[in-house]
Amino acid sequence: MRKNATDLTIEYLDLNRKVLACEARIRQRAQELVKQYPSLDIKQDETSTVIITTKEWFDIIEPFADYGFNKSHSYGYGMVSYWTAYLKANYPSEYMAALMTSCDSKKLPVYLNESAHMGLTVTAPDINLSGVMFKAATINGEPMIPFGLGSIAHVGVLSEDIITERKNGLYTSIQDFCSRVDSPNLNSNTIDALIRAGCFDSIHGSRNGVLEVGASALASARKQRKKVHKDAMQLFDMSEIDGEVPDVETTREDILKYEKELLGLYVTYHPLEGYEDKAVEMASTEIIDLGECDDKSKQRLVGIVTKINRKTTRKGDNMVVLTIEDFSGECEVVLFKNTLERYGEFVDNENVLVFDGKANKREEYVSLVVDHIEELDNVKVDPLVIFLTEDAMTEPLIARLSALFNTYPGDYPVILDTGDKALDLNVLVSKKEEMIDKLKELLHG
């Protein structure tokens, strides 16, 4: 039985594709087609036709399956990796803004942390700079990535109205904003969310101060707008919009609370700031990597409590599920009856805590079953011990050591061991890898 190559069935051609994709289980079926179509007509030109067997056809194309699929994919992935690396190196703020716009909320803390390591500042939303989502911007010559207006809780489609009106000029005050944005989506809830998220920080500074006049500014703008609609010849009188912004303090705690509620994470500040080195030293893993740990393995996490969920077990015992957060993300830690009785006081603790326990992995879900909790400030740290003989302690070396320690302040005491005695240098330093490398270079260079 002969078959013209142009008349092969879709099934036959699809099997050819799968053979080329190196799917071994398909090859047996391909051999059945060899028997079904022993030979093929392949037209060379208008007058001649070459007849080859199907086996010969497969003998030609099958070796391609050994490299065609995987090498083409390797090339494709290689190109994507090159493009990605190029964009990250040459357009870092644009790259990270696009990355954070496209990722899910669980990955955002990781990318915020990565941006900080790259020297990029991710700021709270700005009424005059932000796009709907993350967007690269320049402030005083420095690259910045303002949070997107559309990512603020309760704002939604209003962000597009804000950006559309902003094309007519930057907003100069909360009163100017309320008078110009004539949108049904602008109401007391959305203006409150915009203010608390930090959108007017660059104009007025104090979020709590703007909060005091936000509602009245909106009400006055609406009232003035109605007057204008009644008399088309009347101009919009900004002087009639109430609300000089008072100088009311907005504390760090206020900003942490506002941003966590409205943005879903901490942007301007983070509760763990100042504890970076100690947290890395104390924790066995970051929260984002907890899922990579073995089930039932002992782990230690460092973080703050952001949510409390009190429950009752089937036996009627009390238990608590806490949501904790570090720089990399958040996870749940579980306190059963006995642990809760010993460490229940830490449930409402706002300080940075150390959680010891066992990893509990259930498919996509991972948590930590806690058996010990302690405040990070109360955990004793191992000092940085420097072994140096008295003969090696020259004045130039001591001066350089002092300068290095002043450059990297931290939480770790420095002990100088001369072999005969140990001296506390009464200085607290960081154990950052960069500092340790410079210390080694100084002592052994």
Q: What is the mean pLDDT of residues 102-122?
A: 88
For 230-249, give one letter per residue: b (16+ CB within 10 A) or e: eeeeeeeeeeebebebeeee
Which of 48, 68, 88 terminates a domain? The answer is 68
Of the pLDDT bands very low, low, confident and very high (cuts 50, 70, 90), residue 123 is very high
Q: What is the pLDDT of residue 42?
A: 47
pLDDT tens, 54-66? 566 666 666 766 6
Residue 247 and residue 110 share a domain: yes
In a domain, 430, yes or no: yes
Residue 132 and residue 231 share a domain: yes
User: Cα 108 from chain centroid?
Assistant: 2
Residue 125 and residue 47 share a domain: no
For 370-409, give one letter per residue: b (16+ CB within 10 A) or e: bbebeebeeeebebbebebeeeeeeeeeeeebeeebeebe
Q: What is the pLDDT of residue 355?
A: 95
In a domain, 80, yes or no: no
Structure tokens at 63: 């070796």
Q: What is the pLDDT of residue 255?
A: 94
Residue 117 and residue 258 share a domain: yes
Q: What is the pLDDT of residue 2?
A: 44
Asked whether residue 13 carries a pLDDT value surpassing 70, the answer given is no
Q: Are 179 and 224 in contact (CB under 8 A)?
A: yes
Of the pLDDT bands very low, low, confident and very high (cuts 50, 70, 90), residue 44 is very low
CA proximity to 99, closest of 88, 306, 211 = 88
CA dihedral 108, 113, 119, 121 (to 10 degrees): 50
Which of 68, 92, 118 terminates a domain? The answer is 68
Asked whether residue 84 carries a pLDDT value surpassing 90, the answer given is yes
Residue 124 and residue 149 share a domain: yes
Local structure of residue 351 (DSSP, 8 states): S
Residue 204: other Cβ atoms inside 10 A? 16
Residue 117 and residue 253 share a domain: yes
Contacts of 292 (CB under 8 A, 6+ apart): 285
- Of the CA atoms within 13 Å of residue 66, those in its CB half-sphere come to 6
Q: What is the mean pLDDT of residues 285-298?
A: 91
Asked whether residue 307 carries a pLDDT value surpassing 60, the answer given is yes
Of the pLDDT bands very low, low, confident and very high (cuts 50, 70, 90), residue 94 is very high
Long-range CB pairs of 303-309 (<8 Å, 24+ gap) are 303/272, 303/330, 303/352, 303/353, 303/355, 304/271, 304/272, 304/350, 304/351, 304/352, 304/353, 305/346, 305/347, 305/348, 305/349, 305/350, 305/353, 306/260, 306/330, 308/347, 308/348
Residue 134 and residue 116 share a domain: yes
Q: What is the mean pLDDT of residues 336-361?
A: 90
- Of the CA atoms within 13 Å of residue 275, those in its CB half-sphere come to 21
Q: What is the pLDDT of residue 232?
A: 53
Task: Give the whole-angstrom CA distance, residue 400 versus residue 381.
Answer: 25
Provide the domain count of the chain: 4
Residue 356 and residue 225 share a domain: no
pLDDT tens, 144-187? 999 999 999 999 899 999 999 999 999 999 999 999 998 889 99
Of the pLDDT bands very low, low, confident and very high (cuts 50, 70, 90), residue 222 is confident
In a domain, 24, yes or no: yes
Residue 194 and residue 151 share a domain: yes
Residue 413 and residue 313 share a domain: no
Structure tokens at 195: 């203010």
Q: What is the pLDDT of residue 25?
A: 47
Q: What is the pLDDT of residue 86?
A: 95
Residue 301 and residue 173 share a domain: no
In a domain, 97, yes or no: no
Task: Give the whole-angstrom CA distance, residue 214 versus residue 221.
Answer: 11
Residue 198 belongs to what domain range?
102-263
User: Which helix (H) or strand (E) element contains residue 34?
Assistant: helix 24-36
In a domain, 15, yes or no: yes
CA proximity to 328, closest of 272, 373, 258 = 272
Residue 390 and residue 374 share a domain: no
In a domain, 145, yes or no: yes
In a domain, 89, yes or no: no
Q: What is the pLDDT of residue 26?
A: 47
Which of 339, 356, 378 terminates a domain? The answer is 378
Question: pTM, whole model, 2 decimals?
Answer: 0.71
In a domain, 248, yes or no: yes
Q: What is the mean pLDDT of residues 272-292?
A: 87
97 versus 61: the higher-pLDDT residue is: 97
